[in-house]
Structure 1
Amino acid sequence: MDTQKLIQEQVTGNSVVLYMKGSPQFPQCGFSATVAQVLKLCGVKDYFSVNVLADADIRQGIKEYANWPTIPQLYVKGEFVGGCDIVREMYESGELQQLLAEAGVVVQS
């Protein structure tokens, strides 16, 4: 399967997708660990994660897909949210929690 097509299916077929180095349980870089932690803090328990270190085509392809040069990359409901800094800033402002609640991914308390 074409890498771009595979990425498209992953992004659109799952409510929350995180392209990261490593896994949520064992992140392989600090930025990936931060985004995984932020999702946990937001109450997102179940999301689709892709370890870009396991697949060079995906690792390069995801950068082209969003036209974004760095990993991690967070997608919610098929939309590119951002990388580590953007996700952290959105979390601190409450914007990320609102986005996730509107997407029906978490229930606001």
Structure 2
Amino acid sequence: MSDVQTRIDEIVKNNRVVLFMKGTAQFPMCGFSGRAVQILKACGVNDLKTVNVLEDEAVRQGIKEYANWPTIPQLYVKGEFVGGSDIMMEMYESGELQPLLAE
């Protein structure tokens, strides 16, 4: 595992809910990241950890390899990869996401 993969792994495992995104929760830098944050807020997540991939090119590339998932944002809950904003939206609408995120 490379240094960046180890770093990503530690972030994912040490935080209950992690969103790798473009920008921050306060200032999303892309529509998909913004939508992901809104979905998590709608689910009442208070302990969201966000990682701005635009601040670190190694993480931006590394996260795609980490989950074998080509796009950002990426949501992790309790160390498990959930998906990107489309999957989050589908899970939210079907009611699958809320219990996953419940404390």
Give the alignment's TM-score, normalised by structure 1. 0.91
What pairs with 1:55-94 in structure 2 (closer than 5 Å)? 55-94=56-95
Is the 8 Å Cα contact of residues 36 and 85 (structure 2) preserved in structure 1?
yes
The one-letter code of the counterpart of 1:26 is F
Is the 8 Å Cα contact of residues 39 and 92 (structure 2) preserved in structure 1?
yes
1:44 counterpart SS class: coil
Question: Does structure 1 residue 13 correspond to structure 2 residue 10?
Answer: no
State the match for 2:36 in structure 1. Answer: 35
**Offset at residue 45 of structure 1 (A):** 1.8
What runs of 5+ residues in structure 2 fail to find an aligned partner? none
The one-letter code of the counterpart of 1:6 is R
What runs of 5+ residues in structure 1 fail to find an aligned partner? 105-109
**Offset at residue 46 of structure 1 (A):** 2.1
State the match for 2:96 in structure 1. Answer: 95
Root-mean-square deviation (CA, aligned residues, Å) is 0.9
Distance in 2 (alpha carbons) for counterparts of 1:56 and 1:70: 14
2:47 counterpart SS class: coil
Is the 8 Å Cα contact of residues 19 and 74 (structure 2) preserved in structure 1?
yes
Give the alignment's TM-score, normalised by structure 2. 0.97
Distance in 2 (alpha carbons) for counterparts of 1:75 and 1:6: 14
Is the 8 Å Cα contact of residues 16 and 47 (structure 2) preserved in structure 1?
no
Deviations 1:4-47 (A, max 9, x none): 00000000000000000000000000000000000000000221
**After TM superposition, which residue ranges in structure 1, 4 or more long, deviate above 2 angstroms?**
none
Percent of matched pairs sharing the same residue: 69
The one-letter code of the counterpart of 1:40 is K
